[in-house]
Amino acid sequence: MFALEGIGEITAGDDLVAIIADAAGSRLEDGDIVAVTSKIVSKAEGRTVPAADREQAIDGETVRVVATRVHPGGVTRIVENRQGLVMAAAGVDASNSPDGVVLLLPVDPDASARALCAALRERTGRRLGVLITDTAGRAWREGQTDIAIGAAGVGVLDDLRGTADAFGRRLDATVAAVADEIAGAADLVKGKTSGNPVAVVRGLGRLVGECEEPSTGAGSSAQAASPARGGARQLQRSIATDMFRLGTAEAHAEGFAEGKQMGFTEGYEAGMAAHLASRSRESGAGMEG
């Protein structure tokens, strides 16, 4: 892995393909995966709003609220955004952006990745994959890491089900989120504050495939034959398969409300009082925004 140095501040309308290709020079090889921080894609696409409108922007980008917590520094909102990602503040972010503005995520990160992938391949003559990455927290774990929110020409999942482990045991549930693993690894060389928003990951050419728009036909044989097709949306769980679609406090509140509607009023007031007291204790302990 290595970062591409010399990429300056990106503004709306900038040609990211030319900027990335010029920064790479002759160093790109067939099978390389180019990991691009979403912030420069957002800047090039003009996805900025005044900082004063941040809360309104979060509201506008929110499809579903997962959890809300009050803490000494303000309010943390974990939501599902328009891109289908579950993130703090809907992915609206002020870091690494000019004073007075905040950045929204690209409208369609997979489409942005496909455009970059096709244009970089044409310009460089190399068979490349592209990931668009962003920083996110994770359930059960402290800290943040980069994940893939857009992908083109890269297989985002490596399905190992049906294969055997080192001891010959059959793997029945292992599907590696390789695009997220690559995104996290690439961030180690990009860094958060170094001003290097693009990294190249080499040695995973087996994951690099076609980067065009996937077929919309159900059960497309072309898509089945090319695991690189389908984009980063494949990494998103549907509500039907998401066992953690709500925060703990929100799940409690929903359960109490449904119970009351069904006529289970005995103990409702005491249950809600305990629930609210629990939320108050959580808020007093503080949370990272």
pLDDT along the chain (289 residues), means of 10: 94 96 96 97 94 90 91 87 93 85 94 97 97 93 95 94 93 94 96 89 95 55 54 90 86 78 65 62 48
* 94 found inside a domain: no
* Domain span holding position 217: 2-47+106-238
Q: Is residue 149 part of a domain?
A: yes
**pLDDT score for 87:** 93
Is position 277 within any domain?
Answer: no
| Structural domain count, the chain | 1
Q: What is the pLDDT of residue 219?
A: 42
Q: Share the mean pLDDT of the chain.
A: 86
Which DSSP string do the residues of 13-68 spell out, in sequence order?
A: T--HHHHHHHHHTT---TT-EEEEEHHHHHHHTT-EEEGGGHHHHHHHHEEEEEEE
Whether 156 is in a domain gets the answer yes
| List of residues 6+ apart from 45 with CB closer than 8 A | 12, 106, 107, 112
Q: What is the pLDDT of residues 221-277, one digit of tens each?
A: 444 445 567 899 999 988 888 888 888 888 878 877 777 777 766 655 666 666 666
Residue 267 buriedness (CB in 10 A; 0-12 / 13-18 / 19+): exposed
E strand intervals along the chain: 2-3, 33-37, 48-50, 62-71, 74-81, 86-88, 101-103, 129-138, 141-152, 158-159, 175-176, 198-201
| 82 in a structural domain | no
Token code pair at residue 74: 């303000």
Give a yes or no: residue 58 inside a domain: no
> Cβ neighbours of residue 266 under 8 Å, at least 6 residues apart?
none
Asked, for residue 54, whether it belongs to a domain, the answer is no
pLDDT of residue 213: 66
Residue type, 183: A
Residue 88 corresponds to which amino acid?
Answer: A
Which pLDDT does position 245 carry in this prediction?
Answer: 86
Q: Does any domain span residue 245?
A: no
Q: Are 35 and 183 in contact (CB under 8 A)?
A: yes
Our CA angle for 122, 1, 196, nearest 5°, is 80
* pTM as predicted: 0.84
**CATH number of the structural domain spanning residue 206:** 3.30.1330.100
